[in-house]
Structure 1
Amino acid sequence: MTELGASNYGQLLAEVKQRIRTAQYEALKAVNKELIALYWDIGRLIITRQEGETWGKSVVEQLASYLQTEFPGISGFSTRNIWRMRDFYLTYHADEKLSPLVAEIAWTHNLVIMEKCKDSLEREFYIRATRKFGWTKNVLINQIENQSYEKTLLNQNNFEQTVSEDIQNQAKLAVKDEYTFDFLELADEHSERQLEQAILARVEPFLQEMGGMFTFVGSQYRLEIGDEEYFIDILLYHRLLKCLIAIELKIGKFLPEYVGKMQFYLAALDDKVKLPDENSSIGIILCKSKNKTIVEYALKESNKPIGVATYQILSKVPQELKNQLPAPEQVAKLLEGF
């Protein structure tokens, strides 16, 4: 039997390592599903017994004490956590859509969503996003506190007219109405160059705030057209949509002429950079402020997929905008592609 060459051995090692990582990941998922199922059943048993008997808080406290004594090497059986199991079952047992999804994310993530989100559609959004993007607990908390759900549903784009139907919902979920860049440590007054440099210095949290499915392609991305040079501020790639994302940074209010410039960039990207198996490029115009009516008119006749968003160093969605969220049935349909 001949010895493996260095290149063949390297390939074998890489394949074995990948297989081990895959097995570890699948094992962790299986353990998590079993743990969620256990907590679900404990919550169900408590609810079932409470329906037929008069139980006070002391019974759960006694149960917690007994379980901690009986299973000393297993954590998670504190009085507080057992009450959470009860609330967990109560919250989701009648929801046919969400009850299977909760097993897809960790218990700590479930607790955050259950306690911080009161609407079932909002919970569905964060459960699906956590599962898809692999958010840590802290990232999830940050996304909820920055109101990613509302900002995604309020986004302004022309995707219904410019994006193929099979990826339309995914495209809508890929662009927010507003982004929070509190990690950039920028002063209120800053130039476009300072904004770009701050983003490049913190690319990882920037990509996370953008949605988690983006990879960085380049900054000041050069396009040569008709012996002239043009530069796109930031170019990303969306792994799920399989398309290039051109981002233009503007430190002032949105102006209608920005759409024409973005259309020019997208046409050039599709002609010169896009690969044959990729979808058409999408543009995001990122401004400090915008008038929604002006944006609507500016995008109306655009033949390229463009979203217009704002950015804030710190922000909250005003109550009047919350009242403009799409109808629940529209939100449910949108989340089907998440």
Structure 2
Amino acid sequence: MKKTTQNNYVDFLGEIKERIRRAQYDALKAVNKELITLYWDIGKMIVGRQEQYGWGKSVVENLAKDLQKEFPGIQGYSKDNLWRMRKFYLQYKNNEKLAPLVQEIGWAHNIVIIESCKDNLEREFYIRMIKKFGWTKNVLIHQIENKTYEKTMINQTNFSKVLPEEIRSQAKLAVKDEYTFDFLELGEEHTELELERALISKVNRFLIEMGGVFTFVGNQFRLEINGKEFFIDILLYHRRLKCLVAIELKVSEFKPEYAGKMQFYLSALDDLVKMKDENPSIGIILCKGKDRMIVEYALRVSGKPIGVATYKITARLPRNLKKEFPSPEQIARLMEEM
């Protein structure tokens, strides 16, 4: 086979593979939607009959036994799962916004959300994040346990001012106010180099905590400007935002000069590394602590997109941040733009 013909064939094979993958994905989506619809209907029927005839708990237990006898080997009709179907229907039956959305994620995801989330805004957040970023069940559990919803809603960035409107909301949702690195074997006192090495040694866990749609580009990423070398602690790439993400690690409290240094890095990345079709590079300064007012002043004058977050080795959300939480109306508006 001639080289040009072989190249054409390779391209052709690639197109066929991609088409098959798309068909497989569409088929899985269709099966999932049908399964969720079935479970919704069963939950609705159980609730309806209990209300109509005054049936108690025994109807679910009897139903589970008879269905498992009628459909041996088919999972999903246990007593516990039938109760989940009932709860699923009751949770969303009067919610016109969420009822269609829950059909677009898996049953296992739905159960985790129902059993772990406190209100409909939190549920909507995780449903939309699963759809957008393809979180697995385990990633979802990790994000809920580490309070990603709360930490995302109170994050500190200047994205509203400096990013293009079409990616502004997605970018806000890509940065948390606090990251939990409880998978690191580090003492409370450590150096920036020790923190960097520990994160790189467990880069997969690090990327999951960052949000699950980042890819690792490098650490101590080298920039050469007029014969001088500069190094970015960690450089990632956000696949949805299509942009480079520079991360600076600080084991101290945030200082205003950190924003100036990050602004320098982002200018250099945009000029020297960013591709023409990519969005502006984003910076995340990860600090041991921060004063929110100092961060606000520092970001107010920055012309580059920067977020300032803290990190913890153990999972906890400081109580004093509860007052920083946005109103339900503000949260709803942000999620509508996802």
* Same-fold call, TM cutoff 0.5: yes
CA distance in 2, matches of 1:166, 1:131: 18
Match of 1:196 in 2: 196
Secondary structure at 2:276's aligned position in 1? Answer: coil
Secondary structure at 1:231's aligned position in 2? Answer: strand
CA distance in 2, matches of 1:3, 1:223: 38
Secondary structure at 1:240's aligned position in 2? Answer: coil
Match of 2:171 in 1: 171
Go from structure 1 to structure 2 and tell me whether the alpha carbon gap of 1:16 and 1:226 turns closer, same or farther (over 3 Å shift). Answer: same
Match of 1:111 in 2: 111
CA distance in 1, matches of 2:321, 2:2: 70
Give TM-score scaled by structure 1 length: 0.95
Over 6 Å off, 4+ runs:
1-4
Deviation at 1:8, TM superposition (A): 4.5
Secondary structure at 1:284's aligned position in 2? Answer: strand
1:336 and 2:308 aligned: no
Identity %: 66
CA distance in 1, matches of 2:20, 2:170: 31
CA distance in 1, matches of 2:219, 2:335: 31
**1:176-255 alignment runs, 5 A limit:** 176-255=176-255
Paired amino acid for 1:324: E
Go from structure 1 to structure 2 and tell me whether the alpha carbon gap of 1:110 and 1:221 turns closer, same or farther (over 3 Å shift). Answer: same
Deviation string, structure 1 residues 118-145 (Cα, Å, up to 9, x no partner): 2101001111112222222222111101
1:125 and 2:125 aligned: yes
Alpha-carbon RMSD across the aligned residues, in angstroms, is 1.9
CA distance in 2, matches of 1:65, 1:280: 58
1:22 and 2:13 aligned: no
Deviation string, structure 1 residues 296-317 (Cα, Å, up to 9, x no partner): 1111211111100011111211
Give TM-score scaled by structure 2 length: 0.95
Contact 2:50–2:56 (Cα < 8 Å) also in 1: no
Deviation at 1:329, TM superposition (A): 1.0
**1:44-83 alignment runs, 5 A limit:** 44-83=44-83
Deviation string, structure 1 residues 232-280 (Cα, Å, up to 9, x no partner): 1111121222221111111111111101111111111122222222222
Deviation string, structure 1 residues 137-172 (Cα, Å, up to 9, x no partner): 222111101000000011111112111222211111
Question: How many residue pairs align between the two structures?
Answer: 338
CA distance in 1, matches of 2:129, 2:329: 19
Match of 1:262 in 2: 262
CA distance in 2, matches of 1:94, 1:76: 25
CA distance in 2, matches of 1:16, 1:160: 41
CA distance in 2, matches of 1:301, 1:128: 32
Match of 2:313 in 1: 313
Go from structure 1 to structure 2 and tell me whether the alpha carbon gap of 1:4 and 1:264 turns closer, same or farther (over 3 Å shift). Answer: closer
Deviation at 1:318, TM superposition (A): 2.6
Which 5+ residue runs of structure 2 have no aligned equivalent?
Answer: none
Deviation at 1:5, TM superposition (A): 5.5
Deviation at 1:7, TM superposition (A): 4.2
Secondary structure at 1:250's aligned position in 2? Answer: strand
Deviation string, structure 1 residues 184-225 (Cα, Å, up to 9, x no partner): 222222211111112222222211211122122221111111
Deviation at 1:61, TM superposition (A): 1.1
Which 5+ residue runs of structure 1 have no aligned equivalent?
Answer: none
CA distance in 1, matches of 2:70, 2:323: 51
